Amino acid sequence: MELILGQGRAAAEAPSGVAAMPGAAAMIVEGDQKTFMADVIEASRGVPVLVDFWATWCGPCRQLTPALEKVTRAAGGRVKLVKIDIDKNRALVQQLTQLGLPLQSVPTVAAFWQGQIADMFQGALPESEIKRFVEGLLKLAGGAMPTADLLAEARAALQAGDAAGAGELFRALIAEEPENAEGWGGLIRALMAEGAEDRAEQALAQVPPKLAEHAEIAGARSALALAREGRQAAGAIESLKARLAADPHDRAARYDLATALNAKGEREAAAEALLSIIREQPGWNQDAARLQLLKFFEAWGFDDAATMAARRKLSALLFR
Protein backbone atom coordinates (compact mmCIF):
# COMPACT_ATOMS: atom_id res chain seq x y z
CA MET A 1 0.00 0.00 0.00
CA GLU A 2 1.31 3.39 -0.93
CA LEU A 3 0.24 5.00 2.33
CA ILE A 4 2.03 2.48 4.53
CA LEU A 5 5.69 3.36 4.44
CA GLY A 6 8.57 1.38 5.91
CA GLN A 7 8.48 -1.84 7.83
CA GLY A 8 6.97 -0.54 11.06
CA ARG A 9 8.79 -0.50 14.36
CA ALA A 10 9.63 -3.78 16.00
CA ALA A 11 8.95 -3.95 19.71
CA ALA A 12 12.53 -3.91 20.85
CA GLU A 13 11.69 -2.30 24.16
CA ALA A 14 10.17 -4.56 26.79
CA PRO A 15 7.40 -3.04 28.92
CA SER A 16 7.79 -2.52 32.64
CA GLY A 17 7.33 -5.79 34.50
CA VAL A 18 8.65 -7.88 31.60
CA ALA A 19 12.38 -8.37 31.21
CA ALA A 20 14.17 -7.74 27.92
CA MET A 21 14.51 -11.01 26.01
CA PRO A 22 15.87 -12.25 22.66
CA GLY A 23 14.00 -11.66 19.41
CA ALA A 24 10.76 -13.38 18.50
CA ALA A 25 12.44 -16.18 16.53
CA ALA A 26 14.29 -17.37 19.64
CA MET A 27 11.07 -17.36 21.66
CA ILE A 28 9.50 -20.42 19.98
CA VAL A 29 11.09 -23.69 21.05
CA GLU A 30 10.44 -27.42 21.24
CA GLY A 31 10.44 -28.50 24.88
CA ASP A 32 10.55 -31.77 26.76
CA GLN A 33 10.54 -33.10 30.31
CA LYS A 34 14.29 -32.57 30.66
CA THR A 35 14.18 -28.88 29.73
CA PHE A 36 10.78 -28.00 31.24
CA MET A 37 12.21 -26.32 34.33
CA ALA A 38 14.56 -24.11 32.32
CA ASP A 39 12.30 -23.49 29.30
CA VAL A 40 9.13 -22.82 31.26
CA ILE A 41 9.44 -22.35 35.02
CA GLU A 42 12.68 -20.36 35.09
CA ALA A 43 11.98 -18.50 31.83
CA SER A 44 8.56 -17.42 33.15
CA ARG A 45 10.29 -15.33 35.81
CA GLY A 46 11.36 -12.98 32.99
CA VAL A 47 8.55 -13.23 30.44
CA PRO A 48 5.18 -14.98 30.28
CA VAL A 49 5.50 -18.46 28.77
CA LEU A 50 2.84 -20.28 26.74
CA VAL A 51 3.11 -24.06 26.78
CA ASP A 52 1.39 -25.77 23.85
CA PHE A 53 0.65 -29.40 24.74
CA TRP A 54 0.00 -31.19 21.46
CA ALA A 55 0.11 -34.57 19.70
CA THR A 56 0.85 -35.71 16.16
CA TRP A 57 -2.57 -37.42 15.88
CA CYS A 58 -4.47 -34.27 16.98
CA GLY A 59 -6.15 -32.44 14.09
CA PRO A 60 -7.05 -29.27 16.04
CA CYS A 61 -3.42 -29.05 17.17
CA ARG A 62 -2.35 -28.57 13.56
CA GLN A 63 -4.71 -25.58 13.36
CA LEU A 64 -3.79 -24.06 16.72
CA THR A 65 0.00 -24.26 16.74
CA PRO A 66 0.61 -22.05 13.65
CA ALA A 67 -1.71 -19.40 15.10
CA LEU A 68 0.12 -19.55 18.44
CA GLU A 69 3.42 -19.12 16.64
CA LYS A 70 2.11 -16.12 14.68
CA VAL A 71 0.86 -14.33 17.81
CA THR A 72 4.12 -15.14 19.61
CA ARG A 73 6.18 -13.65 16.78
CA ALA A 74 3.94 -10.57 16.81
CA ALA A 75 4.73 -10.13 20.50
CA GLY A 76 8.33 -9.38 19.52
CA GLY A 77 10.07 -11.27 22.34
CA ARG A 78 7.61 -10.30 25.09
CA VAL A 79 6.17 -13.78 25.36
CA LYS A 80 7.70 -17.24 24.84
CA LEU A 81 6.11 -20.35 23.31
CA VAL A 82 7.21 -23.85 24.32
CA LYS A 83 5.72 -26.76 22.33
CA ILE A 84 5.53 -30.14 24.07
CA ASP A 85 4.51 -33.41 22.41
CA ILE A 86 2.51 -35.25 25.07
CA ASP A 87 3.26 -38.69 23.60
CA LYS A 88 7.02 -38.15 23.92
CA ASN A 89 6.78 -36.70 27.43
CA ARG A 90 4.46 -39.02 29.36
CA ALA A 91 6.23 -38.59 32.68
CA LEU A 92 5.93 -34.80 32.49
CA VAL A 93 2.26 -35.01 31.52
CA GLN A 94 1.57 -37.35 34.44
CA GLN A 95 3.34 -35.04 36.86
CA LEU A 96 1.50 -31.93 35.63
CA THR A 97 -1.83 -33.79 35.72
CA GLN A 98 -1.20 -34.67 39.36
CA LEU A 99 -0.63 -30.95 39.99
CA GLY A 100 -4.09 -30.23 38.59
CA LEU A 101 -3.34 -29.31 34.96
CA PRO A 102 -6.00 -31.04 32.80
CA LEU A 103 -4.04 -32.70 29.99
CA GLN A 104 -6.53 -35.47 29.24
CA SER A 105 -7.29 -33.78 25.91
CA VAL A 106 -5.25 -31.72 23.48
CA PRO A 107 -4.61 -29.10 22.41
CA THR A 108 -4.18 -27.54 25.83
CA VAL A 109 -2.31 -24.28 26.29
CA ALA A 110 -1.09 -23.28 29.74
CA ALA A 111 0.31 -19.83 30.47
CA PHE A 112 3.05 -19.53 33.09
CA TRP A 113 4.17 -16.35 34.85
CA GLN A 114 6.60 -16.12 37.76
CA GLY A 115 6.84 -19.91 37.92
CA GLN A 116 3.08 -20.43 38.32
CA ILE A 117 0.21 -21.29 35.99
CA ALA A 118 -1.54 -17.97 35.33
CA ASP A 119 -4.22 -19.07 32.84
CA MET A 120 -5.06 -21.76 30.31
CA PHE A 121 -7.40 -22.79 27.53
CA GLN A 122 -8.25 -25.95 25.61
CA GLY A 123 -9.21 -26.45 21.97
CA ALA A 124 -8.26 -24.64 18.77
CA LEU A 125 -9.13 -20.98 19.30
CA PRO A 126 -9.11 -18.53 16.35
CA GLU A 127 -6.14 -16.17 16.10
CA SER A 128 -8.16 -13.18 17.37
CA GLU A 129 -9.01 -15.00 20.61
CA ILE A 130 -5.42 -16.19 21.04
CA LYS A 131 -4.31 -12.59 20.71
CA ARG A 132 -6.78 -11.51 23.40
CA PHE A 133 -5.53 -14.34 25.63
CA VAL A 134 -1.92 -13.19 25.21
CA GLU A 135 -2.86 -9.53 25.72
CA GLY A 136 -4.49 -10.51 29.02
CA LEU A 137 -1.40 -12.44 30.03
CA LEU A 138 0.89 -9.53 29.20
CA LYS A 139 -1.35 -7.16 31.13
CA LEU A 140 -1.05 -9.45 34.15
CA ALA A 141 2.73 -9.29 33.73
CA GLY A 142 2.69 -5.49 33.58
CA GLY A 143 3.22 -5.22 29.85
CA ALA A 144 1.41 -5.07 26.54
CA MET A 145 1.68 -6.22 22.94
CA PRO A 146 4.02 -4.04 20.85
CA THR A 147 1.08 -2.75 18.83
CA ALA A 148 -0.58 -1.51 22.02
CA ASP A 149 2.51 0.55 22.80
CA LEU A 150 2.56 1.95 19.26
CA LEU A 151 -1.12 2.85 19.45
CA ALA A 152 -0.70 4.68 22.75
CA GLU A 153 2.31 6.60 21.42
CA ALA A 154 0.52 7.49 18.18
CA ARG A 155 -2.55 8.75 20.00
CA ALA A 156 -0.41 10.82 22.35
CA ALA A 157 1.39 12.40 19.37
CA LEU A 158 -1.90 13.26 17.69
CA GLN A 159 -3.27 14.72 20.91
CA ALA A 160 -0.12 16.83 21.25
CA GLY A 161 -0.60 18.26 17.77
CA ASP A 162 2.16 16.27 16.03
CA ALA A 163 -0.01 15.01 13.17
CA ALA A 164 2.94 14.00 10.96
CA GLY A 165 4.62 12.04 13.75
CA ALA A 166 1.32 10.42 14.68
CA GLY A 167 0.78 9.42 11.06
CA GLU A 168 4.15 7.65 10.92
CA LEU A 169 3.35 5.77 14.13
CA PHE A 170 -0.09 4.74 12.87
CA ARG A 171 1.53 3.52 9.63
CA ALA A 172 4.00 1.48 11.65
CA LEU A 173 1.13 -0.01 13.63
CA ILE A 174 -0.74 -0.98 10.46
CA ALA A 175 2.44 -2.51 9.00
CA GLU A 176 2.67 -4.71 12.10
CA GLU A 177 -1.07 -5.44 12.25
CA PRO A 178 -2.90 -4.74 8.95
CA GLU A 179 -6.35 -5.37 10.44
CA ASN A 180 -6.00 -2.97 13.38
CA ALA A 181 -9.05 -0.70 13.18
CA GLU A 182 -7.61 1.79 15.69
CA GLY A 183 -4.51 2.10 13.51
CA TRP A 184 -6.51 2.80 10.35
CA GLY A 185 -8.87 5.23 12.09
CA GLY A 186 -5.93 7.02 13.65
CA LEU A 187 -4.08 7.29 10.34
CA ILE A 188 -7.13 8.82 8.66
CA ARG A 189 -7.52 11.37 11.45
CA ALA A 190 -3.80 12.18 11.43
CA LEU A 191 -3.91 12.85 7.69
CA MET A 192 -6.94 15.08 8.20
CA ALA A 193 -5.08 16.97 10.92
CA GLU A 194 -2.25 17.53 8.41
CA GLY A 195 -4.76 19.00 5.99
CA ALA A 196 -4.32 16.04 3.62
CA GLU A 197 -7.97 15.12 3.13
CA ASP A 198 -7.34 13.53 -0.27
CA ARG A 199 -4.80 11.16 1.27
CA ALA A 200 -7.19 10.50 4.14
CA GLU A 201 -9.80 9.46 1.56
CA GLN A 202 -7.23 7.14 -0.03
CA ALA A 203 -6.47 5.60 3.36
CA LEU A 204 -10.18 5.08 4.02
CA ALA A 205 -10.48 3.28 0.67
CA GLN A 206 -7.66 0.92 1.71
CA VAL A 207 -9.26 -0.15 5.00
CA PRO A 208 -9.85 -3.95 4.97
CA PRO A 209 -13.54 -4.63 4.19
CA LYS A 210 -14.09 -6.55 7.42
CA LEU A 211 -13.30 -3.36 9.38
CA ALA A 212 -15.70 -1.14 7.44
CA GLU A 213 -18.34 -0.95 10.20
CA HIS A 214 -15.93 -0.82 13.14
CA ALA A 215 -16.62 2.19 15.39
CA GLU A 216 -13.13 3.63 14.74
CA ILE A 217 -13.62 3.49 10.97
CA ALA A 218 -17.20 4.75 11.10
CA GLY A 219 -16.01 7.68 13.21
CA ALA A 220 -13.20 8.53 10.80
CA ARG A 221 -15.61 8.27 7.87
CA SER A 222 -18.03 10.67 9.58
CA ALA A 223 -15.18 13.06 10.37
CA LEU A 224 -14.23 13.16 6.70
CA ALA A 225 -17.82 13.73 5.59
CA LEU A 226 -18.26 16.54 8.12
CA ALA A 227 -14.98 18.12 7.02
CA ARG A 228 -16.27 18.27 3.45
CA GLU A 229 -19.58 19.78 4.55
CA GLY A 230 -17.85 22.24 6.84
CA ARG A 231 -15.39 23.38 4.19
CA GLN A 232 -18.32 24.44 2.02
CA ALA A 233 -19.91 26.37 4.89
CA ALA A 234 -16.79 27.73 6.60
CA GLY A 235 -16.46 30.75 4.34
CA ALA A 236 -20.04 31.77 5.10
CA ILE A 237 -19.80 31.97 8.90
CA GLU A 238 -20.20 35.73 9.04
CA SER A 239 -23.14 35.73 6.65
CA LEU A 240 -24.77 32.91 8.63
CA LYS A 241 -24.35 34.90 11.85
CA ALA A 242 -25.86 37.92 10.10
CA ARG A 243 -28.88 35.86 9.04
CA LEU A 244 -29.35 34.70 12.62
CA ALA A 245 -29.03 38.24 13.95
CA ALA A 246 -31.82 39.26 11.58
CA ASP A 247 -33.91 36.16 12.36
CA PRO A 248 -32.96 34.09 15.45
CA HIS A 249 -35.43 31.41 14.31
CA ASP A 250 -33.64 30.78 10.98
CA ARG A 251 -32.94 27.14 11.79
CA ALA A 252 -31.39 26.35 8.42
CA ALA A 253 -28.78 29.05 9.04
CA ARG A 254 -28.13 27.74 12.55
CA TYR A 255 -27.75 24.20 11.20
CA ASP A 256 -25.21 25.36 8.59
CA LEU A 257 -23.40 27.41 11.24
CA ALA A 258 -23.04 24.30 13.42
CA THR A 259 -21.42 22.44 10.54
CA ALA A 260 -19.05 25.33 9.84
CA LEU A 261 -18.10 25.69 13.52
CA ASN A 262 -17.35 21.98 13.73
CA ALA A 263 -15.05 22.28 10.71
CA LYS A 264 -13.13 25.00 12.61
CA GLY A 265 -12.79 22.72 15.63
CA GLU A 266 -15.25 24.69 17.78
CA ARG A 267 -17.03 21.57 19.03
CA GLU A 268 -18.91 23.02 22.01
CA ALA A 269 -20.31 25.89 19.95
CA ALA A 270 -21.23 23.54 17.10
CA ALA A 271 -23.09 21.21 19.45
CA GLU A 272 -24.88 24.09 21.15
CA ALA A 273 -26.12 25.41 17.79
CA LEU A 274 -27.79 22.06 17.04
CA LEU A 275 -29.09 21.68 20.59
CA SER A 276 -30.76 25.08 20.35
CA ILE A 277 -32.66 23.88 17.25
CA ILE A 278 -33.78 20.75 19.11
CA ARG A 279 -34.91 22.87 22.09
CA GLU A 280 -36.96 25.21 19.92
CA GLN A 281 -38.42 22.72 17.45
CA PRO A 282 -37.85 19.01 18.13
CA GLY A 283 -37.96 17.01 14.92
CA TRP A 284 -37.22 20.04 12.70
CA ASN A 285 -36.54 19.12 9.07
CA GLN A 286 -37.06 15.38 9.64
CA ASP A 287 -34.93 15.42 12.79
CA ALA A 288 -31.92 16.84 10.90
CA ALA A 289 -30.38 18.61 13.90
CA ARG A 290 -30.39 15.52 16.13
CA LEU A 291 -29.04 13.30 13.36
CA GLN A 292 -26.25 15.78 12.61
CA LEU A 293 -25.38 15.94 16.31
CA LEU A 294 -25.13 12.14 16.42
CA LYS A 295 -22.80 12.34 13.44
CA PHE A 296 -20.68 14.83 15.40
CA PHE A 297 -20.50 12.38 18.32
CA GLU A 298 -19.38 9.58 16.01
CA ALA A 299 -16.72 11.78 14.40
CA TRP A 300 -15.42 13.21 17.70
CA GLY A 301 -15.39 9.86 19.50
CA PHE A 302 -17.85 8.75 22.15
CA ASP A 303 -15.41 9.39 24.99
CA ASP A 304 -14.56 12.92 23.82
CA ALA A 305 -15.30 15.62 26.42
CA ALA A 306 -17.44 17.63 23.97
CA THR A 307 -19.39 14.52 23.03
CA MET A 308 -20.12 13.58 26.63
CA ALA A 309 -21.21 17.10 27.57
CA ALA A 310 -23.49 17.47 24.54
CA ARG A 311 -24.89 13.96 24.99
CA ARG A 312 -25.96 14.82 28.53
CA LYS A 313 -27.76 17.94 27.26
CA LEU A 314 -29.38 15.97 24.45
CA SER A 315 -30.61 13.33 26.89
CA ALA A 316 -32.09 16.02 29.11
CA LEU A 317 -34.00 17.44 26.11
CA LEU A 318 -35.28 14.11 24.82
CA PHE A 319 -36.37 12.72 28.19
CA ARG A 320 -37.72 15.83 29.89
Backbone CA torsion sign across 137, 140, 146, 152: positive
Concerning whether 58 is annotated as a catalytic residue, the answer is: yes
CB 263 within 8 Å of CB 231: yes
Q: In degrees to the nearest 10, what's the CA dihedral of 63, 67, 69, 74?
A: 170
Which residue in 304, 243, 299, 252 sits closest to 274, CA to CA?
252
**240 CB-contact burial (10 Å; exposed 0-12 / middle 13-18 / buried 19+):** buried
CB 54 within 8 Å of CB 83: yes
**Among 27, 43, 49, 61, the one annotated catalytic:** 61
Distance CA 293, CA 28 (A): 51
Concerning whether 77 is annotated as a catalytic residue, the answer is: no
Which residue in 138, 105, 120 sits closest to 17, CA to CA?
138
Strand order in the sheet with 49-54: 28-30, 80-85, 49-54, 108-113, 116-122
**Among 24, 58, 124, 253, the one annotated catalytic:** 58
How many whole angstroms from its chain centre is CA 130?
A: 16
Distance CA 320, CA 315 (A): 8
- Catalytic positions: 58, 61
